[in-house]
Each structure stands twice: as structure tokens, then as C-alpha cells.
Amino acid sequence: MGKFLRALYQRLGIRPSFSLAYHPELDGQTERVNQFIEFYLRSYVAADHLDWAKWLPLAEYVYNNAKHAATGKTPFELVYGRNPVMNPSNVPANVPEANHVANTLAQEWKEAESALRMTKERMAGTKGTIPKYSIGEKVWLDAKNVDIWSNSNKLDPKRLGPFEITRRSQATRLLSKSYKSPSQPFPDQPPPETIEGEEEYEVEQIIDSKRQQGKWFYLIKWKGYGLEDNSWEPKELLEHSQEEIQRFNKSQLKKACDAAKSL
């Protein structure tokens, strides 16, 4: 710390306490905020994690508009004395584009509030208890010690599955139920769609591509399925996913152009 800062802290009566990367407990408030941001981004980022920056402004907005247990008020209330209006007017405007943006924002705000509420419920849950499971029940697998291909480990899902229990063992701590109430069954994975007489699963996103033996293959994230079900598929089998392929190729081209500009 420089001479200027030491003198300034002395005049202001500040006793600095610096935190280290491997000892973040000294800055617990920042760590708490970081945990929320990571959980929020993990809930909404695409499978390749490349759109995380797009969600940051909304995460900040929702966090500042949520009541904190320590104060009983939102940061907006403490700073500005009131909370901003979260819901647009139900009266439509004469400009369709404005109506579309307003409706999109309203939907994103609701989803963000749900993510924040889910975070609080998870943090308030009972810790240290060993859950009891039955054979045939579907559960989540803790992904802490599972290697997952991704662009950011921090944004990786914290759970995989669901998987059906086929036998019981002592390693029950590796399993955790859905964040929903235990009385609610886990929703079934979506069945394949029938297109032109053949069953097809819906592509949620294309994560990567490679050229092998003169053919293009794409790494597919399937809608309604976890990352453990991602698979490489040849281009000729993705006839009804041309929009996703074009979107992926466009994003790869933009990434290459941005990299070239930085040289």
C-alpha cells in the first residue's frame, strides 16, 4: 500500500483489511454477491457460456431490487428511497417494437426474480443431513468431482442428471434432489418429435464443431437433457437444425473477426 493511501486511511479512520484469493473470508460481502452472480449466470447462460456478459446488467438490477435479510430493505430503497417499477403497463403502445421489448423485459424480470428466490431457498436449506432415497427414484448427481468440457468452470452446472437409482450404497452424499419440493416429481425428459415419419430430438444449442475424414461434426446440447448427454453428430443428420448451424457458424465467424481485430 502506498504512502498516500496510508495517510488517507489514517485521516479517515479506516483500518484496511486486505483479502487474498485463497482466503476470501475477509471480504464476505463481496463473496456473497459473487455467489449470487455465479448462480444467476449459471441458470441463464448458453451451453458454451459465451453470452455471460449479456446477463450481467439484469443480474445487477435484480440483486439491487431484492430485499436483503440483514437490512430488510433492497439496495435501491437504501440508495434512492424507493424501488423501480418492475412491471410495464398492460396498456399496449402503438409501436409493435416497443411492445415487444417491454414484454421481453417483463418476462426476463420474472425469470430473474425466480432465480433469486431459488438461490435464497437453496442457501436457507438444511445442511449436513444425509438424504434418504429409494430404488427407482430420480436424483441429481453432484458435479463437483466430475470433469465437464466447458469454457468456464465457474459457470458449469452444479448437478448432472437426473439419474434413476438402481441400487443403494453408502455414497449418498453424492446425490441431491431437485431444488423443487421433494413432494414434486422430477419432470420427465421431453420425448422425441416425429418429423416426416422419423423420431428426432430437439437441438437446444450447437457448442462446437470439428472436421473429421472430410465430414463436419457438431457437438449438440439437446433440449431438456443435461451436458452428460451432449453428443457429436454428423451434419447430414441435422437436416432440420439448419438455423442452429447458421447461428453457430455466425458466432464462430464473429469470434474470429474479434480475435483478428485484437492483433
- Condensed to tens digits (0 to 9), the pLDDT of residues 147-173 reads 666 666 666 777 777 777 777 665 444
Give the pLDDT confidence score for residue 118 in this predicted structure.
66
Would you say residue 184 has pLDDT above 50? no
| CATH class of the structural domain 202-261 | mainly beta
How far is Cα 205 from Cα 220, in angstroms, rounded to an integer?
6
The predicted model gives 39-61 an average pLDDT of 79
Q: What percentage of the chain carries pLDDT values higher than 90?
A: 2
Give the pLDDT confidence score for residue 217 in this predicted structure.
92
18 pLDDT tier (thresholds 50, 70, 90): low
Beta bridge partners of 222: 203
More confident residue, 227 or 246: 246
Would you say residue 124 has pLDDT above 60? no
Would you say residue 208 has pLDDT above 80? yes
More confident residue, 85 or 195: 85
Give the pLDDT confidence score for residue 178 in this predicted structure.
40
CB 186 within 8 A of CB 226: no
List, in sequence order, the alpha helices (H) in the chain.
3-12, 28-44, 52-64, 75-80, 96-123, 242-261
Q: Rounded mean pLDDT of the chain?
A: 73
Would you say residue 38 has pLDDT above 70? yes
63-67, 119-123, 253-257: which has the highest mean pLDDT? Answer: 63-67
More confident residue, 125 or 183: 125
More confident residue, 247 or 50: 247
For 218, phi then psi, to 5°, come to -125, 140
Q: What percentage of the chain carries pLDDT values higher than 70?
A: 64
Give the pLDDT confidence score for residue 173 in this predicted structure.
46
The predicted model gives 20-38 an average pLDDT of 66
Would you say residue 209 has pLDDT above 50? yes
Give the pLDDT confidence score for residue 204 in this predicted structure.
87
Give the pLDDT confidence score for residue 88 in this predicted structure.
64
100 pLDDT tier (thresholds 50, 70, 90): confident
Give the pLDDT confidence score for residue 93 in this predicted structure.
74
11-20, 85-94, 243-252: which has the highest mean pLDDT? Answer: 243-252
Give the pLDDT confidence score for residue 25 in this predicted structure.
55
Domain locations along the chain: 26-123, 130-188, 202-261
Would you say residue 179 has pLDDT above 50? no
How far is Cα 262 from Cα 80, in angstroms, rounded to an integer?
40
| CA 101, chain centre distance (Å) | 22
Would you say residue 228 has pLDDT above 80? no
Would you say residue 185 has pLDDT above 50? no
Task: Label each residue of 27-88 as H, E or C.
Answer: HHHHHHHHHHHHHHHHHHCCCCCCCHHHHHHHHHHHHHCCCCCCCCCCHHHHHHCCCCCCCC
